[in-house]
Amino acid sequence: MPLIAVSGLLAACGSDVPGNGLEFSDRLDAVTIEGDVGEAPTIEWTNRMSAGGIETETLVEGDGEALADGDKVFVNFALADGFTRETAVDTFGEEAPAVEMTVGSGPAAEPQSLGDVVSGFLSEQIGTDVTRGSRIVITGDTNAVFGDLALSPALAEENIGNEDGLLLVADVLDVEALPGIESTDQPGKKWMPTITYTEGVPTALDFERATAPAKDDKSAADVVVEGDGDVVEKGDLLVVNYLGQAYDGKKPFDESFSKEPFSTGIGLGSVVAGWDKLLVGQKVGSRVMLKIPPADGYGDQEQNGIPAKSTLYFVVDILAAV
């Protein structure tokens, strides 16, 4: 559901509240921010924060390349309310993934969550004057940051008033997704199907040698190519190429190798349970074959032409995890 501005939903939580026990200070005079880029910032409040229009400050200037229009960049961020002094959205931990954005692209037309709204705002603030590896801090009141969405239900759920001063700490990560994995290796386990390669790219699965799935099968993985990158953790934003095919299916039901890589949060219920179970703990740069029985797939439901109770097989190339 897109976020919809609802007039009158929120009252301002700002400086008119008597007896709150804390004075207001302007922007970063109200707070200290510590920690290394890429790690969750430590935010300590000394006062409540007031802020009007949007202001941006670079806390740490990265030594990576300067961004250019069209570049893809990964960003971790924490959004905090300077009145309640609570953090509303935090992608540094396990609860929400980092975001991937394209410099100069602007926000999505229909944001689905508060995180999407923040991501869209950041896509307008992070431009060609920023280098990879930087930590930037943006302050402004809710109206300045969110515009027409300042009175949205999503903000109300986080107790963010439409006049509150907001603090947004954003790390522009010096990480780029791998362009691909060059290999025509096959799974080593005999119960797995073989991969059909066309010009070195997976294009289908062949089940001639594969063991027929049983009703009590568990989700299983076979590392076809082991990478040497970071280990995938719960809450990461995972960037992959993949191909999926049901057991004995004549052709794949979906794939991304001929398109753009697919990005998703992992371990968060955003994808089928088998992906969450099997891809956490794998390494970036790996090609992994997954076998996912109905219980960890689509169960008793037909899904986009995939028959109900299908065992699903995937080839997944892990290109980045942030």
pLDDT tens digit string along 290-318?
999 999 999 999 988 899 999 999 999 99
φ, ψ of residue 147 in degrees (nearest 5): 60, -125
Q: Which candidate, 45, 43, 44, places its Cα nearest to that of 23? A: 45
158 and 253 share a domain? no
Total of domains in the chain: 2
| 281 CB-near residues (< 8 Å, 6+ apart) | 231, 232
Question: What global pTM score does this model have?
Answer: 0.86
Give the chain's length: 322
Give pLDDT, residue 109: 65
Domain termination site, one of 172, 203, 236: 172
Alpha-helical segments (H) within 28-158: 114-125, 142-146, 153-157
207 and 290 share a domain? yes
157 and 237 share a domain? no
Q: Is residue 185 part of a domain?
A: no
Cβ 266 vs Cβ 280: under 8 Å: yes
The structure tokens listed for 49 are 């924060």
121 and 231 share a domain? no
261 and 303 share a domain? yes
110 and 233 share a domain? no
CA distance 183 to 282: 17
Residue 257 maps to which CATH number?
Answer: 3.10.50.40
CA angle 290, 248, 261 (to 5 degrees): 45
Q: Is residue 29 part of a domain?
A: yes
123 and 216 share a domain? no
Q: Is residue 182 part of a domain?
A: no
Domain termination site, one of 142, 172, 202: 172
163 and 204 share a domain? no
Per-residue pLDDT in tens (0 to 9) along the chain, 322 residues: 333 333 333 334 443 443 355 799 999 999 999 999 999 999 999 999 999 999 999 999 999 999 999 899 999 999 999 999 999 999 998 988 999 988 887 776 676 677 788 888 888 899 889 999 999 999 999 999 988 888 878 788 888 988 999 999 999 999 999 999 999 999 989 889 999 999 999 999 999 989 999 989 999 999 999 999 999 999 999 999 999 999 989 999 999 999 999 999 999 999 999 999 999 999 999 999 999 999 999 999 998 889 999 999 999 999 999 9
CA distance 248 to 269: 27
Q: Which candidate, 48, 53, 63, places its Cα nearest to that of 13? A: 48
Run of H or E including 266: none
CA distance 234 to 93: 9
Q: Is residue 13 part of a domain?
A: no
Q: Is residue 2 part of a domain?
A: no
158 and 199 share a domain? no
Domain residues for the domain of 61 are 24-172
Backbone region of residue 8 per phi and psi (left: phi > 0; alpha: psi in -120 to 50; beta: other values): left
Virtual CA dihedral for 178, 182, 187, 192, nearest 10 degrees?
70
Three-class secondary structure of residue 115 per DSSP = helix
31 and 94 share a domain? yes
Number of alpha carbons in the 13 Å side-chain half-sphere of residue 87:
20
Give pLDDT, residue 11: 37
140 and 224 share a domain? no
Give whole-number Cα distances, 23 to 14, 17, 94, 278, in Å. 11, 11, 33, 50
pLDDT tens for residues 232-283?
A: 999 999 999 999 999 989 999 999 999 999 999 999 999 999 999 999 999 9
Domain termination site, one of 105, 138, 172: 172
Three-class secondary structure of residue 202 per DSSP = strand
Q: Is residue 287 part of a domain?
A: yes
Q: Is residue 12 part of a domain?
A: no
Cβ 11 vs Cβ 121: under 8 Å: no
Give pLDDT, residue 60: 97
Q: Is residue 188 part of a domain?
A: no
Largest Cα–Cα distance of the chain, in whole Å? 74
Give pLDDT, residue 242: 98
Q: What one-character DSSP code corresponds to residue 209?
A: S
163 and 225 share a domain? no
